[in-house]
Amino acid sequence: MARKNLAEVYFNRRMAALVGIGFAAGLPSVYRLLGSTIQAWLGVYDIDIRTIGLFSLITLPVALNFLWAPLLDRFTPPVFASLGRRRGWLMILQLLLAAGIVAMALAGPTSSESSAWPLAIAGFVVAFLLASHDVVADAYRTDVLPDQELGVGAAVYVTGYRLGMLVAGGGALYLAQDMSWRYVYMLLGLMMLPGICATLIGSEPPGSGPRPATLAEAVVQPLVEFFGRMGWAGIAILAFVILFKLPDAMANAMTIPLLQTQLGFDLRQIALAREWFGLGWLVVGALVGGGVTAQMGVKWSLLLFGILQALSNGGFLILAICGRRMDVLLAVVAVENFCAGLVTAGFMAYLMSLCNRKYSATQYAMFTSLMYGAGAVVGAPMGYAVDSMGYKPFFAISIVIGLPAMLLLIWLPRPNRDWLPTINARESD
């Protein structure tokens, strides 16, 4: 197969669709709209930190999406069927997500006397829709990309995803300094439009053509195929997926309360530092990470990046010690986002390399469900942990919790898709 130049690789219909679909996935992400942005909204009205921690549980549907992923793999949607199996589901879910985010706007608190639970219920519904959207978006990305574009496609998708997170994180916090939180969330609902447009301009991937013949095959066969191919190493891979992002999940659960409630940074300062300033370092980290991965390979680069990801949590320990200092906050944000950039595209490429295209929705959902489920369960009691021990010991523990994943990664086999020769022979469309 002839090599393509960079312009052909980056500027084509596949990549244009992936950046918009990534934006639609990142906008309501568990890390911003359903995570730190909600935390900031509750913090404005002095909601108890233990309740803020429990809000991590609204993201549990993202951890359970493997339960209904086979349905999305097996059936073509009843409406928008002309778009195909993958894009039809994307269109339905993006429209419902827009409506769900507006519902969050109407359900959220408006004073310190307001109950936080209507927002929790609306957020749980949005998390279910997001979980379903993630299943289809991950399958679409896995199906539409030829092998030689896996890394580039992951980077493009992540770029769109991070832009969506930026809007729902930094953009929302910046606007909320002078605008009602309800209006902010209504605007975020309207921001699903780029994803809808991307779904329309994208093409249905040829790789999504073969699908499970029966629902039983859709549920059982993806697991049989994965463990039949990987053997006992499959169990170790699932354990690694659970453990790898725990330091990040633990720190994210309490970062906004640390900055907003404990240290007294206002929403605009947090938005400018953690979101806008951090984005530049995230892009630099992703570019450096891509180069390092190309030289070291996915496995050993992930080992290096995972260690750096865990160590970057030490920045919040330093910030908790130093107090409210903008220069320290900027330095911590730079290190955290640089390390996050290193990790993200490589980890996504690793997960895609494990999937059989015929069962890509269910198999990828299995991996991400384990990752997000561990994060939601770990994040829920973190408010109680901070209330008990304080922020300094908390962030110290978040550094060492990543060690088991690194030890496990050393043992895991090198990821590849050589087990499926039809993929390697497949011509780029």
Residue 350 contacts residue 415 (beta carbons within 8 Å): yes
Residue 286 contacts residue 389 (beta carbons within 8 Å): no
The pTM of the full predicted model, rounded to 2 decimals, is 0.72
φ/ψ region of 358 (left if φ > 0, alpha if ψ in -120 to 50, else beta) reads alpha
Q: Look at residues 246, 334, 349, 348 and name the one whose alpha carbon lies nearest to residue 282.
A: 334
Q: Look at residues 40, 34, 38, 42 and name the one whose alpha carbon lies nearest to residue 58.
A: 34
Distances (CA, A) of 160 to 222, 280, 338, 360, 394: 28, 14, 17, 21, 32
Task: List helix spans (H) across 313-390.
Answer: 314-322, 326-352, 360-379, 382-389
Task: For residue 186, count CB atoms less than 10 angstroms from its CB and return exposed for 0-12, middle for 13-18, buried for 19 or more.
Answer: middle
Residue 385 has a pLDDT of 86
pLDDT, tens digit only, all 429 positions of the chain: 445 555 566 667 888 899 999 999 999 988 789 888 998 899 888 888 888 888 888 988 887 887 888 888 778 888 888 888 889 999 999 999 999 999 999 998 888 788 888 999 999 999 999 999 998 998 888 788 776 676 677 778 888 888 898 899 889 988 988 889 999 999 999 999 999 999 999 887 765 545 666 666 667 788 888 888 888 888 888 888 888 878 888 888 888 888 988 898 988 888 888 878 887 888 788 777 767 776 777 778 888 888 888 888 888 999 999 989 999 999 999 998 898 888 876 787 677 778 777 777 678 777 877 777 777 777 778 888 888 888 899 998 888 888 888 888 888 876 554 433 333 322 222
The Cα–Cα gap between 284 and 367 comes to 27
Q: Look at residues 361, 252, 357, 359 and name the one whose alpha carbon lies nearest to residue 309.
A: 252
* Look-up of token digits 């309740």: 51
Residue 226 has a pLDDT of 85
* Look-up of token digits 């990309």: 145
Residue 401 contacts residue 246 (beta carbons within 8 Å): yes
The two tokens of residue 352 are: 């895609």
Q: Domains of the chain: which residue ranges?
A: 6-424
Residue 331 has a pLDDT of 93
Task: For residue 224, count CB atoms less than 10 angstroms from its CB and return exposed for 0-12, middle for 13-18, buried for 19 or more.
Answer: exposed
The Cα–Cα gap between 328 and 319 comes to 6
Task: Tell how far CA 38 is from the center of its chain.
Answer: 16
Residue 293 contacts residue 346 (beta carbons within 8 Å): yes
The Cα–Cα gap between 122 and 86 comes to 26
With b meaning 16 or more CB within 10 Å and e meaning fewer, what string describes 2-18? eeeeeeebbeeebbbbb
What is the CATH code for 6-424?
A: 1.20.1250.20
Q: Is the dihedral of CA 15, 101, 44, 57 positive or negative?
A: negative
Residue type, 343: V
Q: Look at residues 152, 164, 196 and name the one whose alpha carbon lies nearest to residue 428.
A: 152
* Look-up of token digits 């980077």: 155
